């Protein structure tokens, strides 16, 4: 895709990158409630579609939110996932796993006053139990809204770079 739009200026770009750094620090520290309250907008669509392996000549359309998706959550549904982690009864996260995020290739464009489309690459490293290691890379397409209390994401599309997910679950936030 040739980008004809002009990216945001240096100051805004820096603010968005800093926002992402603060966001992943909350997730790395298991501050899920704070993460949810701080960065998620009430009109969020949190979406990880399933892309089949198809021949290039295949003319079927790309997946829509009406199709099978690993995540397809609205605000209440995402909140329920956070609440579950905080019940104290998620045995698989006790002892907790270690997770580290690397967010790169950030490109931001203004799409409306105080609204931005932001592309980034995310690398997630999970270490669980004694020696389980899982590494995922994802392409992330965000729509952010600048509010009085900072940036809020109201659309997040996650393209995981795997047809067969190489992990026992993807129950973590990106």
Please tell me what DSSP assigns to residue 57: T
62 binds other proteins (CB under 8 A): no
- Vertex 147, ends 81 and 39: CA angle to 5°? 20
**Token representation of residue 117:** 């489309």
Question: Using CA atoms in the order 11, 12, 17, 19, what is the torsion angle rounded to 10 degrees?
Answer: 110
Tell me which of 32, 71, 101, 116 binds other proteins, using CB under 8 A. Answer: 71
Residue closer to other proteins (CB basis): 134 or 151: 134
CA–CA gap between residue 12 and residue 9 (Å, rounded): 6
Closer CB to other proteins, 26 or 78, in the complex: 78
- Piece of the chain touching other proteins by CB under 8 A; list 22-30, 31-39, 149-157, 159-167: 159-167
130 is a site residue for other proteins (CB under 8 A): no
When asked if residue 171 is in the footprint of other proteins (CB under 8 A), the reply is yes
Shortest CB 51 distance to other proteins, Å: 8
Decide: is 15 part of the binding site for other proteins (CB under 8 A): no
What minimum distance in Å lies between the beta carbon of 84 and other proteins? Answer: 5
- The residue assigned the tokens 């047809």 is 163
Among 3, 6, 11, 53, binds other proteins (CB under 8 A): 53
Total number of residues binding other proteins (CB under 8 A)?
35
Beta-bridged to residue 115, according to DSSP, are: 112, 145
Count Cα neighbours of 64 within 13 Å in the Cβ-side half-sphere: 3
Q: Which residue, 24, 60, 49, 53, is CA-closest to 39?
A: 24
Handedness of CA 90, 162, 104, 123 (dihedral sign): positive
Considering only residues 21, 25, 29, 90, which one is a binding residue for other proteins as defined by CB under 8 A?
90
* Stretch in the footprint of other proteins (CB under 8 A) among 8-16, 28-36, 89-97, 99-107: 89-97
Q: Least separation, in Å, of the C-beta of 154 and other proteins?
A: 19
């Amino acid at each position: 895709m040739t980008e004809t739009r002009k990216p945001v200026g240096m100051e805004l770009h820096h603010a968005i990158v800093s926002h992402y750094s603060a966001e992943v620090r909350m997730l790395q520290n298991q501050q899920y409630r704070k993460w949810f309250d701080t960065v998620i907008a009430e009109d969020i669509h949190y979406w990880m579609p399933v892309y089949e392996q198809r021949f290039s000549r295949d003319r079927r359309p790309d997946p829509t939110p009406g199709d099978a998706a690993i995540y397809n959550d609205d605000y209440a549904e995402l909140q329920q996932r956070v609440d579950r982690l905080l019940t104290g009864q998620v045995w698989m996260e006790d002892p907790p796993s270690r997770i580290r995020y690397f967010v790169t290739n950030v490109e931001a464009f203004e799409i409306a006053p105080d609204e931005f489309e932001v592309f980034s690459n995310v690398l997630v490293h999970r270490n669980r139990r004694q020696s389980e290691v899982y590494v995922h890379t994802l392409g992330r397409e965000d729509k952010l809204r600048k509010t009085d209390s900072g940036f809020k994401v109201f659309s997040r599309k996650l393209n995981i770079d795997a047809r067969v997910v190489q992990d026992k679950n993807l129950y973590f936030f990106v």
